[in-house]
Amino acid sequence: MLRKQISVSLQEALKAKNQTKTSTLRLILAALKDRDIAERSKGNANGLNDDAILKLLQSMIKQRKESIEFYEKGNRLELADKEKEEINHIKNFLPKQLSENEVKTIVKSTISELGAKDVRDMGKVMSFLREKYSGQMDLSIAGKLLKEHLV
């Protein structure tokens, strides 16, 4: 279903002659095709499911955030802006992200729910958050909050 949404958005971007959106969506579809081929070689004829596509999109966003850091350090702001625009196009296909306050609340409740006491319990809490809120929260923010609360 997600793959279909991306294809439809590509057609709309082509009609609207939106270059950045078109190239971003083509990159996504190329990455999907690449992963599909890899899956087929492993014996999975169906290719990627929506969960795997979401993980792919999240990794693409992560790559772009890293690129933005390097571009800003190198004073290449026009390239950083292009990466930010690509992130916005990719985010359209992800579930609504939780705000930082919502993440704080969830982290606090998860800590008390799991009885986490110190940093040694961080892995247990992170795996719970990853399983329950995959795609909805930025786990790097959750990790920072956990470190603050589990001292």
**Domain range annotation of the chain:** 2-91, 100-149
> At CB < 8 A and 24+ separation, what contacts does 103-111 make?
103/137, 103/138, 103/141, 103/142, 103/145, 104/145, 106/133, 106/137, 106/142, 107/142, 107/145, 107/146, 107/149, 108/149, 111/146, 111/149, 111/150
List the CATH code of the domain at 100-149.
1.10.10.410
For residues 16-41, average pLDDT: 93
CATH 1.10.30.50 fits 2-91, yes or no: no
Q: What is the pLDDT of residue 28?
A: 94
Looking at the whole model, is its pTM more than 0.75? no
Q: What is the pLDDT of residue 73?
A: 93
For residues 19-38, average pLDDT: 93
